[in-house]
Amino acid sequence: MKDTAKNPFKQLEEEPLPEKLKDKVMTSIEMSQLMMDVADLFMVKMGKTFSGLFKTKPNDSGYGESQ
């Protein structure tokens, strides 16, 4: 089966991009990664930690149980 769709990235001209534009794009990507890491920390990992911390477990010591 022949792929009729053209890859637009291969059609781009091979001229160098300005350094300022590269820095701007990389800064934007780094900020996006930072926001995702912070969201992951507070939404997923911290939630798992708190749920494990406050989960009630059976009392193995026998304290408080009538015998």
pLDDT tens series, the chain, 67 aa: 455 678 777 777 777 878 999 899 999 999 999 999 998 888 877 777 777 777 766 665 555 555 4
Dihedral sign for Cα 4, 7, 8, 10, please.
negative
pLDDT of residue 26: 94
Whether pTM > 0.85 for this model: the answer is: no
**H helix runs in 1-67, sequence order:** 8-11, 19-40, 46-53
